[in-house]
Structure 1
Amino acid sequence: MLLTILAVLAAPAPKYPVATIAPALRENAHAVVRAYDEVVTVKSASQLVNTVHKVVTVLDGAGSDSYGQLVIEYSALNRIGYLRGAVYDANGLLLHQLRAAEVHDQGVGSADGSFMTDVRVRYADLRQPSGPYTVEFDYEIVSDNTLFYPSWQPQHAENVALEGATLQVTTPTSLPLRYHEQLLPPGAASAPVVAGAQTTYRWQLPAHPAVDEEPLAPPLSTLLPAVRLAPAAFEVQGYKGSLASWQSLGQWVYQLGQGRDQLPPAVAAKMAQLLVEAPNPRDRARKVYEYVQSTTRYISVQLGLGGWQTAPASSVASGGYGDCKALSNYTCALLKAAGLPAYVALVKAGRDQADVRQEFPSSQFNHVILCMPLAAHGTAPADTVWLECTSQTDAFGYMGSFTGNRHALLLTPEGGRLVATPRYAAQANRQQRRTDLWLTADGGAKATVRTKRVGLAQDTYAQLLHEGDPEQQKRYVSNRLPLSHFTITSLRLAAGPATDALPSVNETLGLELSGLATPAGQRLLLEPNLLGRLAALPAQVGARETPLALPPAALYQDTVRLHLPTGFKIDNLPAPTELSTAYGTYRSTCATLPDGTLQYVRQLELRRPNGSTPLPAAKYPEYQDFRRKVNQADHTQLVLVKHEA
């Protein structure tokens, strides 16, 4: 009995039992963040230490892959001090303590050499066959790259609840902390405390239930509490800089590239010759861009300061390759030799990336492009050419969804200047489609579909055209056809004329369709809008909480010519439909052509009444009603009747 009592007393107390989680936090959650305690200690302008204590209870399999394991990046400028972990069962009893041999380490470079980096990862996997279970991780990162301070957002995903989290930042008082608070609840921030030469800042988040993403909501990263940190002054490998303004950040990056724009004499002379061959500034710039595309290729370089400092233009000229910084710097040097001054620009690239937070100067960029104002050459003041220098196929002057419709940091001798990249409206995001449909008496059909996609609408298809093989192209197109039973008999993608103002991709598609029309006695029932239907949106259940982020402005034009089977005639012609709202316009008509062919014409223009800024949540019912009416009109039905001879 005494031994039993001693054993019980010696047993460690349960940690994080699932039963102690409040029922409200378990509701609609795949995981619950029990604790997320982060401590940032700024040692100097060139070093900081970041420690994290993270505890997550995984409730089911849907949360296991994301939260049952941990991946940490490190590099020459960011080293891992320690990584510890443990996993507990539902009752909070220890199942396993992470051993050093179970922490795996690997590089993240590519086998073909297109991605050169000193970044590596360590990862630990404590996933269990079934939940609930709890993982606990502790780790430390020592960073010699103080251009980047950590960001703190303990709850950042759908269906994940938060039990509590803290952030503490200690910095020398002589190195003031800059921070940006997002949607913090009252009382989350404490007043800074000064002790000697150190100042400490603290934030604390209380429990918060799991959230569901509502239809057309902005990214969750913009909707949940967060604190983003940045230094006032920093130093990376001996290069000192300031983040007090966009101007000072741009000045630091600009100075890193000083003296690295020298070209080999032969290349400089070749560019200078363009002044004679192409006196028009835009034509000359196009020739320079085409030269870069035909003589270089892109590789990613992320080696220490090489993540920011460009390779010399001379090395790109001799080697024929470079990363986004090097290729942009090289192109800038070529343009300068051709009498066309330009500026390198930092941008936060990505189709789904939010724009930079303009009110918080900090290192928010992941890509480099080029900006060439033509106003100095006698053209219109607003005439500016933007160039994506990493692509061998992108159209001259086109940014697209990857870098368009956002802000970039222009690097000038006077420092950085935040400017807007090209904004693309509906006409620059259009799809024009002509479908010829030959219907058979049993409801089957053959179709030839010719689609022209322009601007933003062609972005993915242009990538597919240049990088995908025929099977990948066919699979991509097949997965996006709103049809139940079909066979693709032919598919061809081709780029539109390079001289057009906007790039385009033409698609020619052959289809065999079974059961397209529904037989009903002597009748065939079918919807002429074969491929252009806009989906309806679910009705809002309860009060909407998040703003409404509309899809990009776009223009869709569809013409369907229906060749009737022998002996069939149209029984009714649907009345024309017209809709006009702040969110868009819609028009569809059906008519019989002189040769007996039925022609269905549909045009839909989607608008953004507030530009790229989300609309108030209260606008959702209006927009949902617009989409419902469009969807209803898109399902207009025809009735064909067979007449006996």
Structure 2
Amino acid sequence: MTQTFRWTSACLGLAGLVVALATGPAARAASIPEHRLEITLSGDEYLVEEHLVVRIASEGDVATWSRIPVHLMEGDELVESLAEVVGADGRGVRKVARREFEKVESPGQVLHSSDKAFLVPFHGLAVGEQIRWRCKTRRRPLFPATEVPLSHAAVQDNLRVRVSGVPFRWHLRGGGDALRVAASPEEGGALEIVGEGVPDLDLPPWSPPASSAAPALLLTWGREVDWDGVGTWYRKLIGGLPAAGPEVAAKARELVAGNEDPRQRLEALVDFVKSKVRYEAVEIGVGGWVPSPSGEVLGRGWGDCKDKSELLVQLMAEAGIPGHLALLRAGFGQRIEPGFPSPFQFNHAIVAVPASAVASSEGDPVGGDYLFIDPTSERGGVRWLTPASQGRHALVVGAEASRLVMTPERPADEGRSLRVVGTIDEAGDLVGRVEYRLQGSRALAWIRDLRERSLDRTLEDLQDVVHFVAPGGEVMKAGYKELDSAVPSLGLVAEIRVGAAVRGEAGRRWLRLGSLGSLPGSRELEDRDGVPVALSPGFSRTEWRLTLPAGWCPPRPEDEEAANALGRVTSRAAPAEGGTLVVERETRVDQSWVEEDSLPALTDLAVAENRFAKRRVRLECPEPAVSGSGI
């Protein structure tokens, strides 16, 4: 199972998605005057007939559409195809022969040895011409379900989708007014969906990925199943896996030797799988779903998400700790349709441990009575669940029954804090020390960077952070240290100098102290046409502790907060002992997915964050008291 969701729908397979992601908005002047999909469902397969016409309107379109990728899963078959270019005058047809198709290793996403991909080349493509692509594919999924993307890399003037065959269930996600159901199978007959002016995949900023936000048609057929039925299907699929061999049992005994506490045993096993078994995404045959035998994974020292998860479950079993594989859809802004059971909505495997079996405590990533562990990351203990797996529907595959539960969101474990301690001289220059601490996934990203590239590159990143909160600031003599914590943590320190940090004259001095941000700008939340906003739960804290020259006026006190169900933004400024100015700001995001009806609340937080970051801190002396005599 890969970290990348893969479409398994029309003849183009990944084409619509990949082409859209490979180009920017400026290149998308093309239009699709006609796009037809005919899907015929049968017992263990389905047939897709597709007809696509693309009108080339700019040089950017030429680069975008000169090659169309086609992706086939194992068992799929390209039955027939027709690729041609029609001249601007409507004549001069140039056909692309099947032998000209170019085999590639990957159509823009993860491709494994069991899959096939090739590019359909349209050589000599010019502005004003049209691409015509017709194909018929036979798809043989492991489970009778599929997801058909209904957006493309260009605006579709005329989209027609027809689904027929054996009885099926369907769900139309998104599309708004651009899509309508012209005929429903409940009325007898086929499902027909019609689209006019269907927008392209150029989603607004801060959107979930197209695989979760773009319009799509979900289909499943055959015997109706619930999520427990999906779990039963998966148990049968992996039922041939051998039990833990002697090498796995011996390793479990070695790791927990002398320790009878279940929690400490679990910590030791998790640490081993995370740090000693390398993560590699590999699929062979049905290997996209079936883990490798645990003894094989242990022996070679590497595996993908399901391999590492299955190894951990078997090590736990040898140590007397129950555990289950859990399937979910990982990644920023990803989510499933919980009312439409299908395994193809998942792309990742982790481990679920009954919380009661290991005496879970406050702060553990517990949801639905399970403690969730993602063994793919190389850092972090039992207490830390990677953000890509937080706040997701997870199918816990039990030995006898399976159920869909929500993994928790842990914003307190994810974030960054910047602390500047320094002195302001009479000229208004700042000299001091900056401490930058990262926690959770941000820390893990920086730790990997430090391992894979020079320290100078990482220090350049630190310089960028300082410039964001203190334009013109200079970082010198920097260093770093990975911190010992159950959550990945990294601390960076450096000397800092900011010229003319304080402006103005005596009695009217001011300074602008920036802060780290976490939210989109308010304008980015406008005109989204129903597209949700995807956020990264966590915190961003900034603290300035500056000693002022003797005799300078103290800061004007400030204590403001904007808070709602989505998070909180605070700003505080106050004098401290010894002529010190203290400014503290924090943004905390508590939710990862914001629907249209919650955008006003998010806008309130975004406006407050921006206002606080741009606010001047004023140094003002109190007005002298006026004394007088009464009569």
Is the TM value for this pair above 0.5?
yes
Q: Is 2:586 the counterpart of 1:587?
A: no
Distance 2:118 2:572 in 1: 57
For the residue of structure 1 that corresponds to 2:39, the secondary structure is strand
CA deviations on 1:203-257 (whole Å, 9 max, x unpaired) are: 2223346697556555566665431122335xxxxxxxxx622111111212232
Say if 1:536 and 1:628, in contact at 8 Å, map to a contact too: no
- Match among 427, 437, 440 for residue 455 of structure 1: 440
For the residue of structure 2 that corresponds to 1:44, the secondary structure is coil
Distance 1:471 1:143 in 2: 50
Report how far residue 518 of structure 1 moved.
Answer: 7.4
Distance 1:180 1:366 in 2: 20
Provide the residue aligned with 1:103 in structure 2. 101
Provide the residue aligned with 2:115 in structure 1. 119
Say if 1:294 and 1:392, in contact at 8 Å, map to a contact too: yes
Report the residue type matching 1:34 in the other structure: P
Q: Is 2:243 the counterpart of 1:262?
A: yes
Provide the residue aligned with 1:40 in structure 2. 39
CA deviations on 1:258-289 (whole Å, 9 max, x unpaired) are: 35252332441442466652211111011112
Report how far residue 607 of structure 1 moved.
Answer: 4.8
For the residue of structure 2 that corresponds to 1:188, the secondary structure is strand
For the residue of structure 1 that corresponds to 2:315, the secondary structure is helix
Say if 2:26 and 2:60, in contact at 8 Å, map to a contact too: no
Provide the residue aligned with 1:405 in structure 2. 391
For the residue of structure 2 that corresponds to 1:117, the secondary structure is coil
Say if 2:183 and 2:192, in contact at 8 Å, map to a contact too: yes
Q: 1:299 to 1:89 in 2, by over 3 A?
A: same
CA deviations on 1:63-113 (whole Å, 9 max, x unpaired) are: 555445311122432233344323345554547433445421122499xxx
Q: Is 2:582 the counterpart of 1:600?
A: yes
Report how far residue 516 of structure 1 moved.
Answer: 5.3
For the residue of structure 2 that corresponds to 1:317, the secondary structure is helix
Report the residue type matching 1:448 in the other structure: R
CA deviations on 1:545-575 (whole Å, 9 max, x unpaired) are: 42663734433332213355xx786456233
For the residue of structure 1 that corresponds to 2:171, the secondary structure is strand
Report the residue type matching 1:414 in the other structure: E
Distance 1:536 1:542 in 2: 11
- Match among 151, 159, 166 for residue 165 of structure 1: 159
Say if 2:483 and 2:489, in contact at 8 Å, map to a contact too: yes
Q: 1:627 to 1:266 in 2, by over 3 A?
A: closer
Provide the residue aligned with 1:179 in structure 2. 170
Say if 2:114 and 2:283, in contact at 8 Å, map to a contact too: yes
Distance 2:107 2:531 in 1: 39
Q: 1:218 to 1:550 in 2, by over 3 A?
A: closer
Distance 1:350 1:276 in 2: 36
Q: Is 2:194 the counterpart of 1:204?
A: yes
Report how far residue 346 of structure 1 moved.
Answer: 1.1
Q: Is 2:381 the counterpart of 1:386?
A: no
TM-score (norm 2): 0.79
Report the residue type matching 2:445 in the other structure: T
Distance 1:348 1:96 in 2: 42
Report the residue type matching 1:145 in the other structure: P
Say if 2:392 and 2:407, in contact at 8 Å, map to a contact too: yes
Distance 1:282 1:29 in 2: 54
For the residue of structure 2 that corresponds to 1:107, the secondary structure is coil
Say if 2:80 and 2:136, in contact at 8 Å, map to a contact too: yes
Report how far residue 384 of structure 1 moved.
Answer: 3.8
Provide the residue aligned with 1:284 in structure 2. 265
- Match among 137, 145, 151 for residue 147 of structure 2: 151
Distance 1:524 1:372 in 2: 61
Distance 2:614 2:360 in 1: 49
CA deviations on 1:606-642 (whole Å, 9 max, x unpaired) are: 355xx5553444x54554344334322322335789x
For the residue of structure 2 that corresponds to 1:562, the secondary structure is strand
Say if 2:201 and 2:210, in contact at 8 Å, map to a contact too: no
Deviates more, 1:59-68 or 1:276-285: 59-68
Q: 1:438 to 1:61 in 2, by over 3 A?
A: farther
Report how far residue 491 of structure 1 moved.
Answer: 4.3
Q: 1:127 to 1:614 in 2, by over 3 A?
A: farther
Q: Is 2:539 the counterpart of 1:555?
A: yes
Q: 1:430 to 1:100 in 2, by over 3 A?
A: closer
For the residue of structure 2 that corresponds to 1:432, the secondary structure is strand
Provide the residue aligned with 1:328 in structure 2. 309
Provide the residue aligned with 1:15 in structure 2. none
CA deviations on 1:471-530 (whole Å, 9 max, x unpaired) are: 5434544555415545543444433223x4x332222244455x5547668899763424
Distance 2:115 2:325 in 1: 25
Q: 1:282 to 1:37 in 2, by over 3 A?
A: same
Distance 1:232 1:424 in 2: 39
Report the residue type matching 1:228 in the other structure: L
Provide the residue aligned with 1:346 in structure 2. 327
Deviates more, 1:65-74 or 1:515-524: 515-524
Say if 1:517 and 1:525, in contact at 8 Å, map to a contact too: no
Report how far residue 370 of structure 1 moved.
Answer: 0.9
Q: Is 2:484 the counterpart of 1:497?
A: yes
Distance 2:359 2:601 in 1: 47
- Match among 316, 337, 341 for residue 361 of structure 1: 341
Say if 1:557 and 1:604, in contact at 8 Å, map to a contact too: yes
Distance 1:570 1:288 in 2: 58
Distance 1:183 1:359 in 2: 15
Say if 2:206 and 2:520, in contact at 8 Å, map to a contact too: no
For the residue of structure 1 that corresponds to 2:594, the secondary structure is coil
- Match among 545, 555, 563 for residue 573 of structure 1: 555
Distance 1:534 1:614 in 2: 14
Report the residue type matching 1:136 in the other structure: R
- Match among 324, 334, 337 for residue 318 of structure 2: 337
TM-score (norm 1): 0.78
Aligned residue pairs total 583
Equivalent residue runs for 1:294-333 within 5 Å: 294-333=275-314
- Match among 178, 182, 185 for residue 192 of structure 1: 185
Report the residue type matching 1:348 in the other structure: R
Report the residue type matching 1:580 in the other structure: A
Say if 1:388 and 1:394, in contact at 8 Å, map to a contact too: no
Distance 1:541 1:412 in 2: 41
Q: Is 2:516 the counterpart of 1:532?
A: yes
Q: 1:473 to 1:156 in 2, by over 3 A?
A: farther
For the residue of structure 1 that corresponds to 2:292, the secondary structure is coil
- Match among 74, 79, 82 for residue 76 of structure 1: 74
Distance 1:535 1:612 in 2: 11
Q: 1:517 to 1:283 in 2, by over 3 A?
A: same
Report how far residue 189 of structure 1 moved.
Answer: 3.5
Report how far residue 33 of structure 1 moved.
Answer: 2.2
Q: Is 2:222 the counterpart of 1:232?
A: yes
Distance 2:142 2:247 in 1: 40
Distance 2:502 2:420 in 1: 20
Report the residue type matching 1:84 in the other structure: L
For the residue of structure 1 that corresponds to 2:141, the secondary structure is coil
Say if 1:561 and 1:599, in contact at 8 Å, map to a contact too: yes
Root mean square deviation of aligned Cα: 3.9
Distance 1:75 1:161 in 2: 27
Distance 2:319 2:185 in 1: 54
Provide the residue aligned with 2:629 in structure 1. none
For the residue of structure 2 that corresponds to 1:279, the secondary structure is coil
Deviates more, 1:298-307 or 1:472-481: 472-481
Provide the residue aligned with 2:19 in structure 1. none
Distance 1:490 1:129 in 2: 55
Deviates more, 1:542-551 or 1:144-153: 542-551
For the residue of structure 2 that corresponds to 1:300, the secondary structure is coil
Distance 1:43 1:402 in 2: 35
Report how far residue 590 of structure 1 moved.
Answer: 3.6
Say if 1:217 and 1:546, in contact at 8 Å, map to a contact too: no
Deviates more, 1:440-449 or 1:79-88: 440-449
